[in-house]
Amino acid sequence: MSIHHSRHLFLKFNKQYEETKIDTMTEHIKIDNEEGSVVWGAFTRSLTAEGFEKKKIAVLNEQILRGMPTFIFFYSREEGKIFVADYIEWFKRYEITKHTEEINLIPSYYHDRVGVKPDPLKKKLTCKAYLRVSNIRELDESNTNNMFNFENHDVRIYHRLKEKHNFSVSYINISSNLFEILSKEFSSYLQESIEIIQEDKILQLNKTKKSVGVLTEPPHRTDIKKKKALKKKKPQKIDYVKLAKSNDTIGKTGEEFVLNLLKKELKEKGLSNKKVRHVSKKDGDGLGYDILTYNEHGEEVFVEVKATTQGVKSPFYMSSYEREFAIRNKEYYKLFRVFNLDLSTGIGDYYIIEGDIEQQLNFVTDTYRVFR
């Protein structure tokens, strides 16, 4: 069996909340359906626990930043049912309180356990950490046979459950086939908002830093006529301020990466008398391109940069003016698509579109300017 290299989290939970008849999963799914995501509290009696293991949870964060589907599995001890959700982010014990906006994504029945100190008598459970997830759905229990302890693939979650091992949290790998199946259901919200990131957390990730960018061929152009109708999206409360800040960080990092590539290219062409100009930085946006460089004949070439931390096939956006500029100047135009961008090193992989972009890319209307 082929095992996918991605890492995920497996959690056990109690069907009912303490001595009440409140159904844990039902209450969380209700908020997920209404708000588009839900925050799941991880309970403990420990006096010192304030989160998940940093190095292990950091791997999940890295995957999310790179656009890789990452999943949280929830197992009901009493019923033997298993659920899966799309992972978004996690919070430490005191990062969510009754006064933070995330409290609205937590079921109200345990608000009194949120953001509070541990019970010194260890009688009362409190939340040591939180997982924000989306798109909760039930899985067949047999899928636990396709889940493995990430440190020892000889240990399957299926066997650990049957042997009633005493564990509440496990970091796991899953089979490539299960990963492919779940990825097809990965929340469309996450695909659109995955680049909402916090700059102060990027450098804290325990990750292998990208040191060399790779030039690749552009991916094969999709026949959009064969595409299925769009699925109905779940409602979401998107932090547009954070999204704009994130997109600005990614865009500027991508432009600096391409700028350095073009400077090196001019030097290799023996055009040291010419200087690459970062026009979007020096003159501002709105010119229809980001960088001015030169070809081997010393003629001006207009370069547009579109960057992402996601993979090679992730879509990007162009304004109508950027598109018109590219069409008008197609003989002296290049579009650099930077993907897999590592924000900690400023390096990514990339491909280049030259000439008539209309013949090489698909353009789909996504927003409208409306007036009367």
Express each pLDDT in 188-214 by its tens digit: 444 444 444 444 444 444 445 566 678
Whether 154 and 60 have beta carbons less than 8 Å apart is answered as: no
pLDDT of residue 177: 95
Does the pLDDT value for residue 230 go beyond 60? Answer: no
Indicate the pairing of strand 126-139 with strand 38-44: antiparallel
Does the pLDDT value for residue 99 go beyond 60? Answer: yes
pLDDT of residue 194: 46
Size of the chain in residues: 372
If one counts every other C-beta atom within 10 angstroms of the C-beta of residue 333, the result is 21
**Beta strands across the sheet bearing 169-174:** 38-44, 126-139, 82-92, 71-76, 8-13, 169-174, 147-149, 152-156
pLDDT of residue 254: 93
> For residues 107 and 111, what is the distance between their CA atoms, to the nearest angstrom?
7
Alpha-carbon dihedral sign for residues 148, 153, 158, 163: negative
pLDDT of residue 93: 87
Q: Among 36-40, 168-172, 271-275, 325-329, name the one with the lowest average pLDDT.
A: 271-275
**CA 150 to mean position of chain CA atoms:** 21
> For residues 128 and 41, what is the distance between their CA atoms, to the nearest angstrom?
8
pLDDT of residue 319: 87
pLDDT tens, position by position, 231-248: 445 555 555 555 555 567
Mean predicted confidence (pLDDT) in 46-57: 79
pLDDT of residue 224: 53
Tokens of 105: 């994504």
Mean pLDDT, the chain, integer = 83
Indicate the pairing of strand 71-76 with strand 8-13: parallel
Alpha-carbon dihedral sign for residues 240, 246, 252, 258: negative
pLDDT of residue 44: 85
pLDDT of residue 246: 59
Residue 51 or 119, more confident? 119
Q: What is the DSSP string of 143-171?
A: GGGGEEETTEEEEEHHHHHHTT---SEEE
pLDDT tens, position by position, 284-319: 878 999 999 999 988 999 999 999 887 888 888 888
> For residues 197 and 249, what is the distance between their CA atoms, to the nearest angstrom?
9
Could you give the percent of the chain with pLDDT greater than 90? 41
| DSSP conformational letter for 235 | P
Mean predicted confidence (pLDDT) in 124-139: 91
Prediction pTM value: 0.56
Whether 320 and 242 have beta carbons less than 8 Å apart is answered as: no
pLDDT of residue 222: 63
pLDDT of residue 364: 75
SS3 of residue 293 by DSSP: strand
Domains within the chain, CATH numbers bracketed: 8-194 (3.10.590), 233-359 (3.40.1350)
Whether 286 and 279 have beta carbons less than 8 Å apart is answered as: no
pLDDT of residue 5: 92
pLDDT tens, position by position, 150-164: 999 998 998 888 777
Q: Which residues are CB-contacts of 38 (< 8 A; sequence separation ≥ 6)?
A: 28, 29, 31, 32, 105, 106, 107, 132, 133, 134, 136
Q: Among 49-58, 198-207, 216-225, 350-359, name the one with the lowest average pLDDT.
A: 198-207
- In one-letter notation, the amino acid at residue 363 is F
pLDDT tens, position by position, 30-45: 999 888 889 999 888 8
pLDDT of residue 228: 42
Q: Which of 56-70, 171-185, 241-255 has the highest mean pLDDT?
A: 171-185
Does the pLDDT value for residue 50 go beyond 80? Answer: no
N-terminal to C-terminal alpha carbon distance within the chain: 60
pLDDT of residue 191: 47
With residue 266 as reference, give the H or E element that holds it.
helix 240-268
